[in-house]
């Protein structure tokens, strides 16, 4: 169902291959699309959609920013672009009545957008986005583990710290490979849920009790979890994969000094499954716009 008035234009700005896939999906769905700040588009993105500068933003009715919007609250997250783009420059070029969407929007980014009369609607806060995005993240983590080790996941002892959406998807996937999975979490409810899935569990406060036996540790908690005293309990050949967003949950300096192989695997969906991940963002944004259509004043893009 077309939710928008005829001729409404989407602007897709910055980001990685997920954004390129998002733009392609919107275009194939019949929506006019302009792509900005992607100077090195993948082959699947038609080059005619790409704009050389930000001037065309003023003609966009909806603007979809990347996940995350920025890594420092100042510059657009645009790894496929050579030039640095200040967020202030971007916001100043958006039409005052345009709808803005972005992922993992920080308070500082929201305040900056509001200075230019905009509100950024955070698609990562949507439940369907968080749940579905956990799937390519989990698959990417498993792919990393398989590439980094000379042993099968089958019968490998794997620890997953945390039990949010990503950890749930990962733990179930690992179990499907025949791994011996232990979940460490703070909440008793999470531990109980993990047990119903046939997973071993341990309270996070007792983490040190299971570390010496682990072959792979997957962290999903974006707070200090694997500190030096705990890292010292791991075997030298143990692989650590940190899936947590900044600031991460591993003392990387200590891990390096201890000779532990550690990978901070940020933005995995955009690296391992950009087409799927871009489609998830597309669908989430369209669902958000459908919701906004019932709660917002009339807008050039929202249908009545």
Q: Domain boundaries in the chain?
A: 10-125+273-293, 129-270
- Between β-strands 180-185 and 10-13, what pairing exists: parallel, antiparallel or unpaired? unpaired
Per-residue pLDDT, 57 = 95
For 218, residues 6+ apart whose C-beta sits below 8 A from its C-beta are: 141, 145, 158, 159, 160, 161, 167, 170, 241, 243
Judged against a pLDDT cut of 60, whether residue 29 lies above it is answered with yes
Tens digit of pLDDT for each residue in 261-290? 999 999 999 999 999 999 999 999 999 998
Round to whole Å and give the CA distance between 64 and 34. Answer: 10
The candidate with the shortest Cα–Cα distance to 267, out of 56, 74, 103, 91, is 103
Per-residue pLDDT, 46 = 83
Task: Lowest mean pLDDT of 5-14, 119-128, 213-222, name the range.
Answer: 5-14
Round to whole Å and give the CA distance between 139 and 84. Answer: 31
Round to whole Å and give the CA distance between 73 and 243. Answer: 21
Q: What architecture does CATH give domain 10-125+273-293?
A: 3-Layer(aba) Sandwich (3.40)
In this prediction, residues 237-244 reach a mean pLDDT of: 98
In this prediction, residues 165-188 reach a mean pLDDT of: 98
How does residue 299 score in pLDDT terms, banded at 50, 70 and 90? very low
Round to whole Å and give the CA distance between 73 and 87. Answer: 8
Round to whole Å and give the CA distance between 149 and 80. Answer: 30
- Beta-sheet strand order (sheet of 239-242): 200-203, 180-185, 157-161, 216-219, 239-242, 261-264
Per-residue pLDDT, 303 = 40
- Summary count for the chain: helices (H), strands (E): 10, 11
Name the average pLDDT for the chain.
93
Domain 129-270: which topology?
Answer: Rossmann fold (3.40.50)
Instruction: Kindly state the percentage of the chain with pLDDT values over 90.
Output: 86
- The residue with greater pLDDT, 49 or 171, is 171
Q: Is 116 exposed, middle or buried (0-12, 13-18, 19+ CB in 10 A)?
A: middle
Q: Is 150 exposed, middle or buried (0-12, 13-18, 19+ CB in 10 A)?
A: exposed
- The residue with greater pLDDT, 83 or 179, is 179
How does residue 40 score in pLDDT terms, banded at 50, 70 and 90? confident
Instruction: Kindly state the percentage of the chain with pLDDT values over 70.
Output: 94
Stretch (H or E) spanning 267: none
Taking only Cα atoms into account, the Rg of the chain, rounded to an integer number of angstroms, comes to: 21
Round to whole Å and give the CA distance between 46 and 194. Answer: 44
10-125+273-293 shares its CATH topology with 129-270: yes
């Amino acid at each position: 169902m077309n939710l928008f008035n005829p001729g409404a234009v989407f602007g897709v700005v910055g980001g990685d291959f997920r954004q390129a896939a998002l733009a392609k999906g919107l275009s194939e769905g019949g929506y006019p699309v302009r792509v900005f700040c992607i100077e090195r588009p993948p082959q699947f993105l038609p080059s005619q959609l790409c704009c050389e500068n930000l001037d065309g933003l003023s003609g966009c009715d909806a603007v979809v920013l990347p996940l995350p919007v920025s890594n420092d609250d100042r510059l657009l997250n645009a790894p496929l672009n050579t030039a640095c783009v200040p967020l202030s420059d971007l916001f100043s070029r958006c039409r005052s009545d345009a709808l803005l969407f972005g992922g993992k929007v920080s308070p500082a980014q929201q305040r900056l957008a509001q200075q230019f009369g905009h509100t950024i609607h955070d698609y990562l806060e949507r439940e369907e986005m968080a749940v579905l995005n956990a799937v390519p993240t989990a698959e990417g983590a498993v792919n990393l583990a398989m590439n980094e080790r000379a042993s099968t996941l089958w019968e490998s002892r794997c620890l997953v710290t945390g039990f949010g959406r990503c950890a749930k998807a990962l733990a179930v996937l690992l179990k499907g490979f025949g791994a011996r999975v232990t979940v460490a979490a703070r909440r008793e409810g999470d531990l109980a849920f993990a047990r119903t899935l046939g997973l071993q569990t341990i309270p996070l406060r007792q983490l040190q009790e299971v570390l010496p036996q682990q072959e792979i540790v997957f962290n999903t908690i974006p707070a200090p979890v694997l500190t030096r005293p705990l890292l010292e309990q791991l075997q030298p050949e143990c692989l650590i994969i940190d899936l947590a967003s900044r600031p991460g949950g591993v003392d990387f300096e200590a891990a390096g000094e201890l000779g532990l192989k550690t990978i901070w695997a940020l933005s995995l969906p955009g690296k391992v499954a950009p087409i799927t991940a871009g489609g998830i963002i597309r669908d989430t944004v369209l669902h958000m716009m459908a919701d906004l259509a019932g709660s917002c004043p009339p807008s050039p893009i929202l249908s009545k």
